[in-house]
Amino acid sequence: MSQRRARNELEISQPSIHRILKDHQWHPYKLQMVQQLLPHDPQSRVNFARNQLNLLAAEPEFFHRIDWSDEAHFHLDGGVNRQDFRYWSAENPHFHTSKALNPPRLTVWAALGSSGVIGPFFFRGINGQTVNVNGQNYLAMLQQFYWPAIQNRPNIGVQIFQQDGAPPHWTLAVRAWLDATFPNRWIGRDSPIMAWPPRSPDLTPMDYFFWGVY
């Protein structure tokens, strides 16, 4: 509870509350929300990591054949994350900013591998408006943007494609295309060679790419 609420409920003075907290060196900590995990999720992550280590031991160049892919969302209203925003001043400016209920955003996709970066690809609809990513437009992006960019690679026959377990990536049409285009050579949910763990932390080279570039 807050110091004010503690003072009112315990009927003691504010200086006493502050002194008690100071003497015990207690500090306020903010609750962090994390991804809910199911009982078998930790073991799934361990199995996934061991599978990668085994593949790397058998073929040291294995990860050089992978294109790591992901999407990121960018808000277009110039808004900021208030948890990360601080204004340093000698006095409290008591300023505020407005925020739209559903601010427009743009979804960007890219892939990163030893051959370089493919993308970015911007998911847009008619007249350039932003659209949500679904199985249909995700598959269209793979077929019309990603595949033409890599199909002439000299090592295309051993190329591996990675995606996470997001719902658009798991549609039957997407998986059928991946099975036909990258037979036994794609990583993702229900992958034939390396199943992406459900509710995984999803930390791949693409996350570092989006953090560092955009």
CA distance 86 to 93: 12
Reading the block at residue 144, the tokens are 């019309």
Say if residue 172's pLDDT is above 70: yes
The confidence band for 209, taking pLDDT boundaries of 50, 70 and 90, is low
Reading the block at residue 69, the tokens are 């892919």
The confidence band for 214, taking pLDDT boundaries of 50, 70 and 90, is very low
Q: What is the 3-state secondary structure (H, E, C) of the chain?
A: CCHHHHHHHHCCCHHHHHHHHHHCCCCCCCCCCCCCCCCCHHHHHHHHHHHHHHHHHHCCCHHHHEEEEEEEEEECCCCCCCCCCCCCCCCCCCCCCCCCCCCCEEEEEEEEECCEEEEEEECECHHHCECCCCHHHHHHHHHHHHHHHHCCCCCHHHCEEECCCCHHHHCHHHHHHHHHHCCCCEEECCCCCEECCCCCCCCCHHHHHHHHHC
58, amino acid identity: A
pLDDT tens track for 80-115 = 555 556 667 777 777 666 666 667 778 899 999 988
Q: What is the mean pLDDT of the chain?
A: 81
pLDDT reported for residue 159 = 93
pLDDT tens track for 110-160 = 999 988 999 899 998 766 677 889 999 999 999 999 999 999 999 899 999
At 101, phi and psi to the nearest 5? -65, -45
Residues recorded for the chain? 214
For residues 184 and 91, the model is more confident at 184
Q: What is the mean pLDDT of residues 13-25?
A: 75
pLDDT reported for residue 192 = 80
Q: Give the chain's domains with CATH numbers.
A: 34-213 (3.30.420.10)
pLDDT reported for residue 120 = 92
Starting at the earlier edge strand, list the strands of the sheet with 186-188: 116-122, 105-113, 66-75, 160-162, 186-188, 194-195
Query: What per-residue string of b and e applies to 56-67 under the rule 16 or more CB within 10 Å gives b?
Result: eeeeeeebebbb
Closest CA relative to residue 108, chosen from 201, 207, 34, 177: 207
pLDDT reported for residue 47 = 86
For residues 40 and 83, the model is more confident at 40
Task: Using alpha carbons, list the distances in angstroms from residue 45 to 9, 63, 77.
Answer: 46, 18, 37
Say if residue 36's pLDDT is above 80: no
